[in-house]
Structure 1
Amino acid sequence: MDDYFLRKGDVISFESPREPGIFMIKRVKALENEMIYDTIKQKETKVPKGHVWVEGDNKRASYDSRHFGCIARGLITGRALYVIWPLKRFGAKLTLFNDDGDEDND
């Protein structure tokens, strides 16, 4: 996926870096060369070139970059644009979040 198509806050699908053939969907929290605070290791991590840092919206129950590290951009299979569940939100555009976790009006 080209750089200009991916930004922080995007929801992406990707192949699991630890379980090939398993696909996941998470929110991009940091792009290459950015610093991100890993709340599990309790330290800042720099995202390497060609990688992204992803986290689930429900941090307490999410298996994400805090567990398996940064993911290579080559594992990214797509970007989610619309909500399909719950049905009452079907067709709504996905919300972007800023660094504070607050909704952004993009």
Structure 2
Amino acid sequence: MFRSALGKTLGFVGYTIQYGCIAHCAFEYIGEFVACSGPSMEPTITSHGVVFSERLSRHLCRIENGDIVIAKSPFDPHMNVCKRVIGLEGDKVCTSGPSDIFKTHQYVPKGHVWLEGDNLRNSTDSRSYGPVPYALIRGRVCLKLWSLHHVGALNQSPTGRVVKRSD
């Protein structure tokens, strides 16, 4: 009886470890569900909205201008940020303060991206902390899942700031 119980317990532990490894690999290399909080991406993604962030684009270096990404915060490594890519390495970005009075140009250095929220007046982004290292990008947001009346693919930047390259 003891051997039977031990065998079942070890079998259960083995399956748990296997499925745990599969889940870990799926979330680490394929994608994850992310709850976004804060107003910085409104109206595109509302506060407490849930999105699916795929990881393959990041691993294949396929992040482009206009993509919305989940990245580690440059200020707090325990926090993620959800922002739109405005500039890639080598791009010249027109930056401005929250009051839109001062405009300057900055080149995005190699290995970095320029991230901004769609809600420019209420977003802490690259205008505050500068270019973000590409290594901090965790994934590209490809689908909005919540709130229910806004489920679907993501639309263009409401600010019209993103200009696609014509290489």
**Structure 2: stretches of 5+ with no match in the other structure:** 1-57
Corresponding residue number in structure 2 for 1:24? 81
CA drift of 1:89 comes to: 1.6
The 8 Å contact of residues 116 and 125 in structure 2, kept in 1 or not, is answered as: yes
Corresponding residue number in structure 1 for 2:153? 93
CA drift of 1:33 comes to: 0.1
**Structure 1: stretches of 5+ with no match in the other structure:** none
Pair 6,22 (structure 1): closer, same or farther in 2 beyond 3 Å: same
The C-alpha deviation readout for 1:72-106, integer Å capped at 9, x for no partner, is: 0000001100112321121x11123498348x9xx
CA RMSD of aligned residues (A): 2.1
Aligned length: 101
- How is 1:57-96 mapped onto 2 (pairs within 5 angstroms)? 57-90=118-151, 92-96=152-156
CA distance in 1 between counterparts of 2:122 and 2:156 reads 20
Determine what percentage of the aligned residue pairs are the same residue. Answer: 34
Taking structure 1 as the reference length, the TM-score comes to: 0.85
